[in-house]
Amino acid sequence: MKLDLSIQKNIKRPVSTRRWPSVVKQFLHDQNLDGHFYMEILLVGNTRIQTLNKKYRKKDAPTDVLSFPMSVKSDLRLHSGRPEHQPNGRNPKSETQLGSIVICPKIAFEHWQEGTYGTIAKNQVMIYLIIHGLLHLLGEDHATDAQYDRWEKTITQFWLRI
């Protein structure tokens, strides 16, 4: 598997990104995906993420993470950890632009202090949000109870392995 991961830090807060490429690769591998993947992670401040949240989700408030899927949303779906081929015949082994994950570390750490992420350790918050964002980039959602249960199972199983 090859991963081209662009990380852009548009914030003053120091954030360690050293483990991110290996975590993303491991997650994609655990989802039985192989190939050449492109994606970006952007770290932004409150104002920027609030602007994006208002524009794309119609919510005028800052948030911790936003995901902007590219072609993969319509090409792959995860089901029980295995990709399903879509009618367009796209092969998960081909080059795939996953999309962008935008994270606001300030909001993320505020949420962590409030207990939003359960038992996740402070030094794992950003990785947790990257996995959350990756699931969205892969076309998953957590709007219904069934989706949420599958979502939590996927994250929990991965979390136990890293």
Q: Which CATH superfamily is domain 2-161 in?
A: Metalloproteases ("zincins"), catalytic domain (3.40.390.30)
pTM of the shown model:
0.83
pLDDT at position 9, please?
94
Q: What is the DSSP string of 12-77?
A: SS----TTHHHHHHHHHHHTT--SEEEEEEEE--HHHHHHHHHHHH---S--SEEEEE-THHHHEE
State the burial class of residue 45 (Cβ atoms within 10 Å of its Cβ: 0-12, 13-18, 19+).
Answer: middle
88 near 149, Cβ under 8 Å? no
Domain boundaries along the sequence of the chain: 2-161
pLDDT in tens, 16-54: 999 999 999 999 999 999 889 999 999 999 999 999 999
